[in-house]
Structure formats: structure tokens, C-alpha cells
Structure 1
Amino acid sequence: MKLVINVSPSQHGASQEDFIRGSLEKKAKEVIFDLASQAHVHLEHISISARSFKKRLQKSAFPAFNITVALDQHLKTLRKADFNKFHPSLQRRNSLLPLSLYARSWKQSY
């Protein structure tokens, strides 16, 4: 499956330098918000597909959906950080991720 993301920094008046220099301007946050929104839409689509195919998939196929757990948690953290990609909470490792992966894998819920 090919994924095309139609977000350009210039759509919001942001430049590449805004991201390189760590600008916290509204323009940069809007670009990050758009990217996160599109990622969330794709994540929801994958989750719905996984639930609809759950009965038809073999158990050995479910680990392919593990990435959705990490992505979902990262998007939630990004939202809590007000789409500031330099926020310290985004720089820390999520120590509960292995537990979340185990729980979702055991429940087979993605």
C-alpha cells in the first residue's frame, strides 16, 4: 500500500528553516497538526480494517498491527504537547509501551 501525504509547509506559510531551527510559531504547529491529523485518519482506517478482518485473519498476522499501538500513543502525546515537536514529553521513552503492546496483543485489539 502506498501512502501519500499532501501537506506542505508552504501551505501554512512555514519554511523548512522553521523546523530546522525549532521554531514554535503557529505556522509550524499547524503543519504538524495537519500531519498528525492525516496520520490519525490512516490509523483509524487501519484499526477498522483490522477489526473487520479479525475473524478471517490467522493469529500469526496480528503482530503486523503492533505498530498501531506505538503510533496511537505517540499521536496522543503529540496532542497533549499542543503539537510542539520539541516538547520534552516527546523526547522521553515510553516505558509502558511494552506493557501496552503485550495487553493489546493478548486481547488482539488494534
Structure 2
Amino acid sequence: NTAKNSVPHTFNAPLREGKGSVYEGGVRVPMMVYWPGKTEAGMRINTPVTPPDFYPSICEMAGVENPETVQKLDGKSFVKLVTDGSRLAKEAVEKGKIRNQKEANAFV
């Protein structure tokens, strides 16, 4: 958390804040996907995915239809997103407070 009108300890222009922050500059990073025969070269997607999306995506890529888990999976597979540009179905965006941060955004 930074004092008003001060420079954050890291900065990720043009996004707000930087590493260690729950604002977009602290959590938004580029990702590259290479899947021969499935992904299109030069495809650019601006849809965010989150770490919980990786497990269901890798399971789908491996042909595992219903992976057995102890609890409900929070993530959504991003396979269709990277293969044909379909939207990633996220249910909602939640806002809340974490420690001294003013607010946090999270996919639910």
C-alpha cells in the first residue's frame, strides 16, 4: 500500500501499482501459449486468465474430462480461448479489501 501521491515500490505502467499489489499492475502479466496444430501463430488475446484456470485447462488438453478433486475447481478451462478465441466464461468479478489495500478485484 502506498501513501497518497507517493511512488509505489514497483511500477507497471500503464497499469496501476506493481508487484506485490492486488491492483492490475501487480497481477497482470503476459502469457504465451504454444500448442502445435491447435494454436494460431500471432494470435493476441486480451482476456485475463488466473492461476486456478491452469489445472482444468491442462486436464482438458490431456483429454481428462472430469478430473477427480476433493473440492470444486475454482478455475475455468481456457482451451477454447487459445484455440479459437472464444470468451472465457467467468461468472463474476468480486471486489473486496485485502489488508491495507483500498480494494481488490478477483474472478469468482
Please report the TM-score for the alignment, with normalisation by the length of structure 1: 0.28
Higher normalized contact order (CA 8 Å, seq sep 6+, divided by chain length): 1
Bigger share in helix: 1
